[in-house]
Amino acid sequence: MLQAHYQVLRPLTTAHLAQTMTLLCMTAAELRQQIDSELAANPALELVEERRCPTCARLLPPRGACPICSRPQSLTADDPIVFISPREDFYTGSRPNQEEAPEDNYSSAVEDLPTYVLRQIAPELPVADRPMAAYLLTHLNEDGLLEASLVEVARYHHIPLSHVEDVVRMIQHADPIGVGSASPQEAMLVQLEVLAESRYVPELAEEAVRCGMDLLSRHQYTDLARRLRIGTRQAQEIARFISENLNPFPARSHWGDQREASAPPMQVYHHPDILITHLNDDVNGQLVVEIIMPLMGTLRINPLFRQAIRQASEEKIDEWKNDLDRASLFVKCIQQRNHTMQRLMSRVVSIQQSFILNGEAYLKPLTRALLSLELDVHESTISRAVANKAVQLPNGRIVPLSMFFDRSLNVRTVLKSLIERETRPLSDTELATLLAHQGYSVARRTVAKYRAMEGILPAHLRQSPVYVPA
DNA sequence: CTATGGCACGGATT
DNA sequence: AATCCGTGCCATAG
């Protein structure tokens, strides 16, 4: 029945194609903006009353029955229920005039680090300083460290250096604490300072970070002890405190020494574009996939407008006709987008079902190319649809949709559990053979890379490098 | 000599 | 066409 409905919108023009592609890339929040501006600009477009399912009270698309309550019997447990779920509240919240409540002002479902930080400091930040703060934040590297020279920033914005430093200080105290520091050392010093406000910090920790960074990172505790003029044991304790509580790279969640640069620039996902839940919250229930449509009600062409156009004056008629075409194109594109997302998710979820249910180790290798073949669309279509989207799993975790296409996540997870269960530190070579026994054949060098990705230290630094006294 | 990280190459993926 | 990823080789540290 849905098929039939969507067949109607076949005629493809290049404009249609281009706009569908653009819409496909958008997250729900971006889509919302797009729709808002289109509604405001085009009188031919209107938003009509929503429909709710009489049984479950879900919001429904304009036509067709409730996808949950009236699902066909023929569906097996492997076929997830996929439908478009209109939810305005999800993205707009209580929008205007409350600039201070960060959770209510969703500009995007996927927020990058600069935005995330800016949002935190915005309330205290004088408006005049915003451009400068924004400039600073855009010059963070992927570790959350600042790569710009403060002197130059000051000169460029014609602001005293001390003022720039004040703003940097504010940034450093925002959530990934230490973000915006010039070096790992500086970041850690800030973290110490903040930590000291709420809990005990070993006396010489600051001293150790200040002058013993080189030794700390190489785990040379005897030398460190000598430099601080304390006992080795005390030095080890300080080192342990530091490695457990401080993070030299604020944008990374875990601490590893010199990690290889594969950690993605941190992104904070506030709100998913897609929800995956169990039917009726029953853990064994069928999977239900909701593709968020950030809008109550439904978009359509205003029928009054269509009538009015017949009696339009000569000058106006071209303009109005243009509006009408735009509006109907827009509606078609939106529907096309939804249709594609629906087909895509249906397939992805049924392929990766065991990943969703059982965790990362069960992720199957899946490429966009394979999927494009199955769904009979171009590869780039899949790429666009997958990019920048966030999915909420039944367990509540919000992950990027691209995780479903991660080729090595399952191996990495097995590797992690292998290391967690080890009794003595295993070398990369040993790990590689162990993995091979479990059917994952990867090269020794690759094990090292995966280790680094997960922020796991090399074998000789892993277990008990620090002796923990009672 | 062993373990590991850097660099770079080639094939797959986007 | 551009980018990502697994791997091999080599240098370096312990």
Nearest to A302 by CA among A47, A72, A103: A47
Cα–Cα distance between A255 and A242 in angstroms, integer?
10
Residue for token pair 């023009």:
A13
The whole-number Å distance from A458's CA to C10's C1' is: 19
Long-range Cβ contact pairs of A426-433 (< 8 A, separation 24 or more):
A426/A459, A427/A459, A428/A458, A428/A459
| A59-60 and A81-86 beta bridge pairing | unpaired
Indicate yes or no: strand B within 7 A of the C-beta of A161.
no
Cα–Cα distance between A304 and A309 in angstroms, integer?
9
Say what the pTM is.
0.69
- Amino acid at the residue A312: A
The whole-number Å distance from A387's CA to C3's C1' is: 15
Cα–Cα distance between A449 and A88 in angstroms, integer?
42
What's the rounded mean pLDDT across residues A306-325?
A: 83
In A203-285, alpha helices (H): 205-217, 221-228, 232-245
Indicate yes or no: strand B within 7 A of the C-beta of A320.
no
For chain A, give the percent of residues with pLDDT over 90.
Answer: 23
Indicate yes or no: strand B within 7 A of the C-beta of A374.
no
Q: How confident is the model at residue A96 (pLDDT cuts 50, 70, 90)?
A: very low
The whole-number Å distance from A420's CA to C4's C1' is: 28
pLDDT of A102 > 50? The answer is no
| A390-392 and A274-278 beta bridge pairing | parallel
State the nucleotide closest to A458 in CA–C1' terms. Answer: B4
Q: Which bases of chain B are contacted by protein, using any atom under 7 A from a CB?
A: 2-7, 12-14
Q: List residues with CB under 7 Å of strand C.
A: A 218, 262, 407-408, 441-446, 449, 460
List phi, psi (to 5°) of A145.
Answer: -100, 150
With contact defined as beta carbons under 8 Å apart, do A175 and A113 qualify?
no
Total residue length of chain A: 470
With contact defined as beta carbons under 8 Å apart, do A295 and A26 qualify?
no
The protein residue nearest B6 (Cα–C1') is A260
Cα–Cα distance between A96 and A105 in angstroms, integer?
8
For chain A, give the percent of residues with pLDDT over 70.
Answer: 80
pLDDT of A260 > 60? The answer is no
The protein residue nearest B2 (Cα–C1') is A427
The whole-number Å distance from A217's CA to C7's C1' is: 28
What's the rounded mean pLDDT across residues A61-73?
A: 64
Q: What pLDDT score was predicted for residue A382?
A: 93
Indicate yes or no: strand B within 7 A of the C-beta of A367.
yes
Cα–Cα distance between A184 and A187 in angstroms, integer?
5
pLDDT tens for residues A346-389? 999 999 999 999 989 999 999 999 999 999 999 999 999 998 89
State the nucleotide closest to A457 in CA–C1' terms. Answer: B4
pLDDT of A269 > 70? The answer is no
Q: What pLDDT score was predicted for residue A283?
A: 78
In A48-183, alpha helices (H): 89-92, 113-121, 130-138, 150-157, 161-172
Q: What pLDDT score was predicted for residue A124?
A: 83
Alpha-carbon A240 to chain mean position: 31
Cα–Cα distance between A206 and A333 in angstroms, integer?
58
Q: Which residues pair with A109 in a beta bridge?
A: none
pLDDT of A241 > 80? The answer is yes
pLDDT of A97 > 60? The answer is no
A411 membership: H or E segment, kind and range: helix A409-421
Q: What pLDDT score was predicted for residue A62?
A: 62
The whole-number Å distance from A403's CA to C1's C1' is: 25
Indicate yes or no: strand B within 7 A of the C-beta of A405.
yes
Among A103-112, A411-420, A427-436, the range scoring the smallest mean pLDDT is A103-112
Indicate yes or no: strand B within 7 A of the C-beta of A369.
yes
Q: What is the rounded average pLDDT for all residues in chain A?
A: 79
The whole-number Å distance from A132's CA to C12's C1' is: 43
pLDDT tens for residues A161-179? 888 899 999 999 987 788 8
With contact defined as beta carbons under 8 Å apart, do A176 and A250 qualify?
yes
The protein residue nearest C8 (Cα–C1') is A445
Highest-pLDDT range among A87-91, A101-105, A267-271, A353-357: A353-357
Structure-derived torsion over alpha carbons of residues A1, A335, A24, A326, reported in degrees to the nearest 10 = 160
Q: Which two tokens stand for residue A78?
A: 């492997």
The whole-number Å distance from A117's CA to C8's C1' is: 42
What's the rounded mean pLDDT across residues A69-74?
A: 58
Residue for token pair 């992950």:
A399
With contact defined as beta carbons under 8 Å apart, do A184 and A248 qualify?
yes
Q: Which residues pair with A290 in a beta bridge?
A: A83, A275
Indicate yes or no: strand B within 7 A of the C-beta of A383.
yes
DSSP category for residue A110: E
Answer with the residue of higher pLDDT: A105 or A303. Answer: A303
Alpha-carbon A103 to chain mean position: 16
pLDDT of A209 > 80? The answer is yes
pLDDT of A319 > 80? The answer is yes
Q: Which bases of chain C are contacted by protein, using any atom under 7 A from a CB?
A: 5-9, 14
**Helix, strand, coil share (%) of chain A residues, nearest 5:** 55, 10, 35
The whole-number Å distance from A422's CA to B2's C1' is: 20
State the nucleotide closest to A387 in CA–C1' terms. Answer: B14
- Amino acid at the residue A392: Q
Nearest to A125 by CA among A166, A162, A154: A166
Q: What pLDDT score was predicted for residue A106?
A: 37
Nearest to A168 by CA among A205, A198, A140, A128: A140
Q: How confident is the model at residue A91 (pLDDT cuts 50, 70, 90)?
A: low
